[in-house]
Amino acid sequence: MKKTRTFCLFICAVLLLCLLGGTADAQTDASVTGGCRSIDAAKPLDGTDKLLETSQAVILYERSSDTLIYAYNADQKVDPSSMAKLMTALIAVEVGDLSSVATVTREALSHVGIGVVTVKPRLQAGEKLTLESLLYCMVAASDNDAAVVIAEHIAGSQQAFVDMMNQRAKLLGCANTNFTNAHGLFDENACTTARDICRILNAALKNERFRTIFQAETYTVPATNKTQERNILTTNYMMSKEYTSKYFDARVTGGKTGTDGKGGRCLAVTAEENGMEMLAILFGAVPTYNADNPNILETFGSFEEMKVLLDHVGEKYEYRQIFYDNQTFSQYPVAGGSNDAVTTPVSAVSTVLPKDTTREQLRLVQSDVPSLTAPVSKGQNMGHIEVWYGEICVAQTDLVSMNAVSVYQAPPEPTGSAGKDEDSGGAVIATVIGVTVGIVLGAAALFFLVLLLIRSVRKASVRARRRRRRMNRQRSR
C-alpha cells in the first residue's frame, strides 16, 4: 500500500513539473517582443519611470548593440523645434551635392521672422555658399535661414522640401511626426516624438558626412561674394569649451540644441562611455532665469538634465558581448549521417547590461531543433537562442550548423584477392597450431618413455637383489 502511495505522489510531481514547464515556455514565447532590442522596444532595459525633473519626453538608445536603455513619454507628441533640422540635414547629405553652390534668396530670408535669427552667420540675400557650409551653419549654429536656403536649393521650394521630409520620416517608421517647415520654428500643425527623432538621428549618423558635421565644435565659413570668412560655434555647450566650460562633458561627442514654442529646451546628443555609443534625446526641459533680470538665463535645463541622464546610465550600465563568432553551443545527432552537427551563432551579438550582472542572472532559452536527417549543409538553420535578464530579452540570434554532415557510407565488401589472403593467413595459423600441438605431444611421449625406462631399471634392480639373496641362502645350507 505504501509503495502504491509513493508511486502516485511521484507521478503527481512529474505532472506538476510538466505543467509548470509548459507555462514558462508559453510566457517566454509571448514576451519576446518585450525585449529591449531596437528603438521600437516595448521594454527599455532601465524602464520608463520619470528620471529627470522637468523634461517632458526622453529617450536613450545604445547604437552599437541596438539596445533601448531608457524611455519616458517616448511616444508623446511634442513640438519638433530645431530637431526638425536633423531631418533637413539627413535629406541634404543623402540627395545633395555638398560641393554645389546655393544662393541665398530674399524669399528664403522672408520665411524667418525678424528678430528670430540672433546667431551667426547672418546670411545675406544674394550671398553664395556651398551646401556643406550651409549645413554647418544650420546644425552647429542652429541657423534658421540656412535651413530654408538648403530646402530651396535641393527641392526648389521649402514646401516641396517639407514633402520630402515627411516622406522620409514615413520610410523610417516615424508614424507620429509631421513637419511643416525645414527649420522647426513653432507651428501648431507640426509634431514629432522623442522616439521618432531618435529614429531620424540614428539614420543620419550612419552617413559619414553628417556625422562629421554633427560632431563639429567650430567651423569657419569661407569668404563669400558678400562677406569675409566667419567663425561659428556649436550651440551644444556640452561638447565644447569655446563659449563656456560650465556644461562641458568629455563623454559628449556631438549634438543639436533646440527651443520649443513654449520656451522649453530640447537637446539631442551622442556620447560614449563604458563601451556604449549612446544617443540621447530630451524635450521640454525647463530653463530658469535670474529673479531680478528675467533676460538673464541662469540654467538651460537641457544641459543639466542631460548630464543627470548620462551619469545615471554611465554609473549603472556597460556594453558586453554575449555571442561570439564560431562559438559552439550544442551537438546534435544526424540520422543517417557520418557525424554529428554542431551549432554556432549566425553572428556575434552584444548588448547592454547592468555592470554587476553575473552569468547566473542570465537565462538562455533555446528553441527545439527538429530531428535531423543527412545531409546537413554548413550554415543550415538550427533554430535560435535568446538571452533573458529578468523579464527582458536582452539578446537573441539564429543558430546555424557550423559543419556539414554527409550521408554515411558503409565500408566496401572484401574482394576475391582479399579472401585468398585471408585463406592463406588461416592456413599459416593452422600450420603453426599443428606444429605446436605436435611438439607438445612429442614431449609428452618422451616423458612417458623416460618414466617407463626408469621403472624397468628399478624392476631389474629389485629382481637382481632377490636372486642374490636366494643364492646366499643356498650356500649357507
Whether residue 130 has pLDDT greater than 60: yes
Taking the C-alpha atoms of residue 61 and residue 44, their distance in angstroms, rounded to an integer, is 9
Taking the C-alpha atoms of residue 283 and residue 443, their distance in angstroms, rounded to an integer, is 111
The mean pLDDT of the chain is 86
Instruction: List 293's β-bridge partners, or say none.
Output: none
pLDDT value of residue 121: 82
Mean pLDDT of 7-33: 37
Residues constituting the chain: 477
Share of the chain above pLDDT 90, in %: 70
pLDDT value of residue 115: 46
Among the listed ranges 110-124, 179-193, 315-329, which one has the minimum average pLDDT value? 110-124
Q: From the DSSP assignment, how many helices (H) and strands (E) are in the chain?
A: 10, 20
Kindly state the cell numbers that stand for 330.
550544442
Residues 126/109, Cβ–Cβ less than 8 Å: no
Share of the chain above pLDDT 70, in %: 81
Mean pLDDT of 249-262: 96
Residues 118/77, Cβ–Cβ less than 8 Å: no
Q: How distant, in Å, are the alpha carbons of 35, 458, 459, 466 from that of 454?
A: 102, 6, 9, 19
Taking the C-alpha atoms of residue 22 and residue 221, their distance in angstroms, rounded to an integer, is 66
18-30 confidence digits (pLDDT tens):
333 333 333 333 3
Kindly state the cell numbers that stand for 390.
529578468
DSSP H or E stretch at residue 417: helix 416-476
pLDDT value of residue 246: 95
Residue 322: strand, helix, or coil: strand
Query: What interhelical angle do 144-155 and 84-95 show, nearest 10?
Result: 40
Burial bucket for residue 27 (CB in 10 Å: 0-12, 13-18, 19+): exposed
Taking the C-alpha atoms of residue 296 and residue 304, their distance in angstroms, rounded to an integer, is 17
Whether residue 148 has pLDDT greater than 60: yes
Taking the C-alpha atoms of residue 426 and residue 429, their distance in angstroms, rounded to an integer, is 5
Strand ranges in 193-242 using DSSP code E only, listed in sequence order? 218-221, 230-233
Kindly state the cell numbers that stand for 374.
543527412
Mean pLDDT of 368-390: 91
pLDDT band at 113 (very low <50, low <70, confident <90, very high): low
- pTM greater than 0.85 (yes/no): no
pLDDT value of residue 117: 42
Mean pLDDT of 311-331: 94
pLDDT value of residue 13: 39
Residues 285/242, Cβ–Cβ less than 8 Å: no
317-323 vs 101-103, strand pairing mode: unpaired
Residues 336/373, Cβ–Cβ less than 8 Å: yes
Among the listed ranges 129-138, 205-214, 412-421, 443-452, which one has the minimum average pLDDT value? 412-421
Taking the C-alpha atoms of residue 135 and residue 330, their distance in angstroms, rounded to an integer, is 52
pLDDT value of residue 243: 87
Q: What angle do CA 427, 433, 435 make, to 5 degrees?
A: 100
Among the listed ranges 47-56, 244-253, 258-267, 443-452, which one has the minimum average pLDDT value? 443-452
Taking the C-alpha atoms of residue 283 and residue 285, their distance in angstroms, rounded to an integer, is 6
Displacement of CA 316 from its chain's centroid (Å): 19
pLDDT value of residue 122: 87
Mean pLDDT of 142-170: 97
433-468 confidence digits (pLDDT tens):
665 666 766 666 666 666 777 777 777 777 777 777
Among the listed ranges 11-15, 243-247, 282-286, 453-457, which one has the minimum average pLDDT value? 11-15
3-state SS track over 195-256: HHHHHHHHHHCCCHHHHHHHCCCEEEECCCCCCCCEEEECCCCCCCCCCCCCCCCCCEEEEE
Q: In this predicted model, which residue has the larger pLDDT, 474 or 205?
A: 205
Contacts 24+ apart (CB under 8 A), 385-389: 385/323, 385/329, 385/345, 386/28, 386/32, 386/35, 387/322, 387/351, 387/362, 387/363, 388/28, 388/362, 388/363, 388/364, 389/45, 389/353, 389/354, 389/357, 389/361, 389/362, 389/363
Among the listed ranges 188-202, 302-316, 359-373, which one has the minimum average pLDDT value? 359-373
Taking the C-alpha atoms of residue 404 and residue 334, their distance in angstroms, rounded to an integer, is 11
Whether residue 79 has pLDDT greater than 70: yes
CA-wise closest residue to 304 among 273, 270, 267: 267
**CB proximity list for 364: less than 8 A, separation 6 or greater:** 385, 386, 387, 388
Taking the C-alpha atoms of residue 170 and residue 405, their distance in angstroms, rounded to an integer, is 46
Displacement of CA 448 from its chain's centroid (Å): 90
Name the DSSP class of 345.
Answer: E
CA-wise closest residue to 263 among 292, 308, 294: 294
Instruction: List 364's β-bridge partners, or say none.
Output: 387
Instruction: List 217's β-bridge partners, or say none.
Output: none
- Report which residue type is found at 396: Q
CA-wise closest residue to 81 among 285, 299, 309: 285
Kindly state the cell numbers that stand for 33.
517582443
Q: In this predicted model, which residue has the larger pLDDT, 112 or 274?
A: 274
Q: In this predicted model, which residue has the larger pLDDT, 18 or 411?
A: 411
